[in-house]
Structure 1
Amino acid sequence: MKKPIIAVDMDDTICHLVKRAIHYNNLEFPTHPLRYEEMFFWDTTHLRHPSSTHEVFYCRPGLFEELELYDEFVVEEMMRLNTAYDVIIVTAADATAVVEKWNWLQRHMPFITDKQFITCRRKSLIQFDLLIDDGPHNLLPAIADGKKVLCIPHPWNRIEREQYAMPVMSTWKGAKETVDHLLEVNREVVI
């Protein structure tokens, strides 16, 4: 039997991007500090300093290689998911970040192969059975297409979480069991 496809986002799903980008923003623009708790929008409308652009905030050389793991459970749970399901990493990436993201994955999750690594801004173009993501711009199209989702909660997806009552996973502890439960309706036996 074909294994269900689990699409997993990288940034702010298996690692912390926004918190690290805020750190550098606040070092560079101390007169216009940002706080994670105030990041209510997914896009860069939250940037307060006129010189802090999308490129300055997200495209700092080396940024993606130094990101912290989401939590202490993410590697083990990703390994378990990778054994049970057809896991693909689907991440948006500027051209300069692709190699950094791949290097990060190989350092932390070397069991993920290059055949499982896809860079794509429009995740709705990718075939999957369940999407694990933090971005409302990815979660809502998946829901509209009738796909299962698992939302990683952050301030920028609070409104959508409440409005669409999507399942939430605030820790990776027990992620495989959570995914098993969400997909049990569509599964007979996954070996």
Structure 2
Amino acid sequence: MYMPKSRKSIAIDMDHVIADIEYQMIDWYHKKHGVLVEREALKGLPEGAAFPEREKVRQLLYEPGFFREARVIPGAQEAVVKLWNDFDIYIVSAAMEFPLSLHEKYEWLKEHFPFIGWKNIIFCGDKSVVDTDFMVDDHLKNLNYCKGRGIMYTASHNMAIDYDVRVNDWSEALQYLYSNH
């Protein structure tokens, strides 16, 4: 027998939304190649474009520990805990492209978001299969196929993209989600 959903659902991306991959790229590039790229230099440019050798930035994504050691985006933990009480939350990451990221992202979630169980974690190659009421993501390619309401989370690489619902931090995300609950 079909039972209607009682709570709305949210798909939350990991990279650039709850995990600070921008900082990780800057930090690891600096440690490996001796060049410090300022975070301000990333604003409005495609991912990796502000670095002297873009292919070397991409190689970092294949390095052991890169995803596991990422910082948490400020306010993300508190916001997701709050949302957890009122929505069905799913962490959704297109992790298949970077094989090491699967285990590392799972371990990272267990450390920083221990209340999210394995049934609420979706690692995929294509987010168009995700069917939630809302999707918080930093990439237009994912939001374009969102079956519910897409919410663009601002990251340096998407600042020049025009999207009708954009949030700049987790405080704004909470405000939008609860006002459209």
Give the length in aligned residue pairs.
173
Q: CA deviation at 1:138?
A: 1.3
Deviations 1:129-180 (A, max 9, x none): 10111112212332xx5x31222112211222xx33x222222236434212
Hey, what's the Cα distance between the residues in 2 that align with 1:24 and 1:98?
A: 19
Q: Which residue of 2 aligns with 1:188?
A: none
Q: Is residue 41 from structure 1 mapped to residue 43 from structure 2 by the alignment?
A: no
Contact 2:25/2:57 (<8 A) preserved: no
Contact 1:77/1:174 (<8 A) preserved: no
Given the alignment, which residue of 73, 76, 82 partners 1:74?
76
Hey, what's the Cα distance between the residues in 2 that align with 1:95 and 1:155?
A: 25
- Secondary structure class of the residue paired with 1:112: coil
Contact 1:9/1:89 (<8 A) preserved: yes
Hey, what's the Cα distance between the residues in 2 that align with 1:175 and 1:181?
A: 10
Hey, what's the Cα distance between the residues in 2 that align with 1:76 and 1:68?
A: 14
Contact 2:21/2:70 (<8 A) preserved: yes
Q: CA deviation at 1:19?
A: 1.5
Contact 2:135/2:150 (<8 A) preserved: yes
Hey, what's the Cα distance between the residues in 1 that align with 2:139 and 2:27?
A: 21
Q: Which residue of 2 aligns with 1:153?
A: 154
What is the identity percentage for the equivalent residue pairs of Structure 1 and Structure 2?
24
The TM-score with structure 1 as length reference comes to 0.80
Q: CA deviation at 1:46?
A: 5.0
- Secondary structure class of the residue paired with 2:89: strand
Distance 1:6 1:51, change over 3 A: closer
State the one-letter code of the partner of 2:72. L
Q: Is residue 130 from structure 1 mapped to residue 134 from structure 2 by the alignment?
A: yes
- Note the aligned Cα RMSD (angstroms): 2.2
Hey, what's the Cα distance between the residues in 1 that align with 2:67 and 2:94?
A: 12
The TM-score with structure 2 as length reference comes to 0.84
- Secondary structure class of the residue paired with 2:90: strand
Contact 1:15/1:67 (<8 A) preserved: yes
Distance 1:149 1:124, change over 3 A: same
- Secondary structure class of the residue paired with 1:65: coil
Given the alignment, which residue of 86, 89, 99 partners 1:87?
89
State the one-letter code of the partner of 2:90. I
Moved over 6 A (4+): none
Hey, what's the Cα distance between the residues in 2 that align with 1:10 and 1:90?
A: 7
Hey, what's the Cα distance between the residues in 2 that align with 1:85 and 1:51?
A: 39
Give the unaligned 5+ runs of structure 2. Answer: none
Hey, what's the Cα distance between the residues in 1 that align with 2:172 and 2:156?
A: 23
Q: Which residue of 1 aligns with 2:66?
A: 63
Deviations 1:42-80 (A, max 9, x none): 4x55553276152x2212211222111100x22121012
Contact 2:62/2:99 (<8 A) preserved: no
Hey, what's the Cα distance between the residues in 2 that align with 1:4 and 1:51?
A: 40
Q: Which residue of 1 aligns with 2:168?
A: 170
- Secondary structure class of the residue paired with 1:63: coil
Give the unaligned 5+ runs of structure 1. Answer: 185-191
